[in-house]
Structure 1
């Protein structure tokens, strides 16, 4: 039975029994409005710069022989996950409908991925290989990175950074602090930017879970992902000075968000939310997620 037929039958069954359809439960997550500060930086300009940098990185990776071929199974998986996530993007940013989305996979031991303004996605093989990511877990990472672009975090940070630097320079000049004073004030501005970044990371987690769930990927994979991350990280910087929330706190926030996004996943897969099986990791020692 096709996915479409399963969804139709499920909807008909609910209607005949007087029950709400699964999509009636699928409300999604709420986040704060995007900052108006981002309007200080033209989106088109930032997207053009991102495209230029992305193309440059791609050329450099190809020249060094570390750009993974399109037919590599890992590159195929990344591309397929993106294919399913991208149609959900315009829900969070209408401009995403006109973005020229791209993906690339770079051969490096680095555990990292990013999505630049305008939908330019890059993954590193170390992330997939070292964490033994499932497709659901790839979707959680990709959804998170896409969320940064969709919520225009880079655009907002550029705007805030410009204002903070302006304030630091003016303050130093007015107070007669000179170059040393500017350096001290600048360090304070950097810590303020870290706060913005931690907020951005939390928001990207939330929006990323929503994207993944709507695309039919299990959002509980986010818990498994960070449990895996905790297994390979020997130490972590104090959360206050980290650009990412600490693992335990991050998992707790994801678990708190699951009740909002699991109905989306159930609706996308045509499954009764009450009948969903636990999410089981492919790595020994990572507990199942209910």
Structure 2
């Protein structure tokens, strides 16, 4: 028995030593560490908190990065930013419908790119303390361990850099993201993505997206106030993104449609991180504007 335990001890010890050496080596080299979106843990924590008094924001990273929930006043309940990168938000709406939850207001982020997004299957997840703990541990390791996330090491030796280097979340789901490089570098990468999306636009999938969105929103009509929100984007991005955009096609889906897509066309770091996502400072200002719009809403008796 002693010999077995001794062998087991050394069998486990060697990998631990190897991990410590790799982590130490990477830290000594000061290898840039990639930062990731805390998708699962954020969703598992916040989605079950939504009730009929909540205001929720759903959509993609423009909404997640660009709207600060603490800037929006809701006297009756909380404001949650339930937007996620590459999310069309359908899974959030399906979860709410399955649980007969009709938030006070739903602010739905829209861009023509949404048709290519999927969702993160929150409508099928188990919302348990165990799963939240597991996802938080996984996220901590992904954010802090080079061994758990080999991508940062590979990027370093290939001579590239992580695109995002920090995610700082607030307790309502808003996030401040720090991207690598200067504005011109970040804009160049973002423009390349949008150019590829523009070249591969699928009109049939886009129409299917609109039909499915309308079907989901119809189930909330009369129970939740529905806002569509097209976030600002710089002029070069909108030239690519707006090719297939038809405002008349989207406006009828919502009680209120807030089209700010061309409201800030200047392409610089005063307003944007990368030409597509609002800077931290301007996101605060823009969130206050959304708050003022909600206060002016008169379509229901619910105070804003």
Same fold by TM-score, threshold 0.5 exceeded?
A: no
More helix by share: 1
- Calculate the TM-score normalised by the size of structure 1: 0.26
More strand by share: 2
